[in-house]
Amino acid sequence: MTVQNFRNLLKERPFKPFRLIMSSGQSYEVRHPEMALITKSDILVGVDIEDDGVPVEFRICSMLHVTAVEPIESSSNGTQG
C-alpha cells in the first residue's frame, strides 16, 4: 500500500470502514477517518475507542507490513488491537 492509497481510503465519502491486516496476522479496524493518521511510512490507528469516541492509544502500523485491506461492516462496534 502507498500513502496515496491510504489517503484515498480516508477521504472517501461516504467513508467506508476498513480493516488493516498486518504481516504478523494482527488486524486493526478503522471505523472513522479521524481514527487514522498517515505519515510517509506508517499509518497510526486509534485503538480501544471509548464511549466518547476517543481512542485510548494508537498503534503504529508500517505500510510495508500491511498485507491486506478489507472492508468491514459499519454496524459493528469496537476496534481490535
In a domain, residue 49? The reply is yes
Q: Is the pLDDT of residue 4 over 90?
A: yes
Considering the entire predicted model, what is its pTM?
A: 0.82
In a domain, residue 80? The reply is no
Summarize pLDDT for 27-78 with one digit per residue, the tens: 999 999 999 999 999 999 999 888 888 899 999 999 999 999 999 985 544 4
Q: Which residues constitute the domain of residue 17?
A: 3-71
Q: What is the CATH number of the domain that holds 15?
A: 2.30.30.100
In a domain, residue 78? The reply is no
In a domain, residue 81? The reply is no
Order of strands across the sheet with 36-38? Answer: 36-38, 42-49, 55-62
- Contact between 12 and 65 under an 8 Å Cβ cutoff? The reply is no
Rounded mean pLDDT, 10-26: 97
The domain tally of the chain equals 1
In a domain, residue 21? The reply is yes
Burial 36-67 (b: 16+ CB within 10 A, else e): bebeeebbbbbbebeeeeebeebbebebeebe
